[in-house]
Structure 1
């Protein structure tokens, strides 16, 4: 009889990831060394951080880019008197199994869309291989199948690209 892992008992870690898009309809992707696939920047939400702050911090740490969050925020729910702020609504939320050698766990990944006016990645960055790609250029990149579907959906979402253009032109 073999031991089976009861995944329902595994820890779940909150993470924040972000698609970084520019008005030229290009998407920033990073090569993940350990997994040997292309992904968006992201990482764990640290103690005391909101997901909005975490995704922008991760993007900056990994790429040197100061991106801007885009997406829905219902400002009518904010209340200064009771210290209630409204965060950006994630583009997608995924629960991802992580088979880590230190111990398997899940990432509850809050995925955002962000904008930048940049078309190249600064030299001062954490990740070695990072660059902007057109949709056509992403076709030959090694990606997880579900990530490729999400990339294709972002490229096909004209409303997202309209928001990118509006955010960068401000």
Structure 2
């Protein structure tokens, strides 16, 4: 999706996620080669005007990875608010960050990063126009990716997910979280 805000200094809201594969002898992270940046990054994209952040995660999951939401679970802290009155409780992100994504003109993305986990191959393929260069890497392989081939903050986030989140948080069905807020009645 194109940027909703295009003036210098504007911020766009984005979501992103790593898919952690647990079907091998050790956990592996899924990266893809971002078509514009030509660097390894997590999956994700802009939140459209008519969707919640969680709806954007579900849309981007199918578009960019080929996974169906029923194939993956979202990692969540064991202690968390599970529901609230008159609102949709969304999953807790691993990280919320703001980064400058271009210098000329200056533009920012404020992002919610999630960790998803699965023990299977995707049922589909990335949509037309999406990157098909998808790489599944172990922790040691992640450390060996040359600096010029990866966005460093996404290497750091990947390390954090593998080293801290994977064993400490619990996997929860994606469908446990609603995509829209309830209507005010």
TM range (shorter): 0.7 to 0.9
1:100 Cα deviation after fit: 7.0
Measure the CA separation in 2 of the matches of 1:74 and 1:160: 19
Instruction: Structure 1: state its 5+ residue gaps.
Output: 1-8
Q: Secondary structure at the match of 2:50?
A: coil
- Report the Cα distance in structure 1 between the residues aligned to 2:143 and 2:168, rounded to whole angstroms: 23
Equivalences, count: 152
1:160 equivalent in structure 2:
166
- Comparing 47-56 with 135-144, which one deviates more in the overlay? 135-144
Shift of 1:62: 0.6
Q: Which position in structure 2 is the counterpart of 1:124?
A: 125
Structure 2 distance, partners of 1:54, 1:113, is: 14
What is the alpha-carbon distance in structure 1 between the residues aligned to residue 64 and residue 140 of structure 2?
A: 24
1:114 aligns with 2:120: no
Q: Which residue of 2 aligns with 1:20?
A: 19
Q: Which structure's CA Rg is the greater one?
A: 1
- Counterpart Cα distance in 1 of 2:139 and 2:107: 32
Counterpart in the other structure of 1:29 = 31
Q: Counterpart in 2 of 1:95?
A: 98
Stretches of structure 2 that go unaligned for 5 or more consecutive residues are 1-7, 174-185
Q: 1:84: which partner in 2?
A: 87
How far did 1:147 drift?
2.2
Kept in 2: contact 1:13–1:107 (CA 8 A): yes
The CA distance in 1 between the partners of 2:136 and 2:82, in whole Å, is 32
- Aligned match for 1:68, one of 63, 69, 73: 73
Partner of residue 144 from structure 1, selected from 151, 166, 180: 151
The answer to which of 135-144 and 104-113 deviates more is 135-144
1:30-50: CA deviation from partner (whole Å, max 9, x where unpaired): 011322211100000011211
TM-score when normalising by structure 2: 0.71
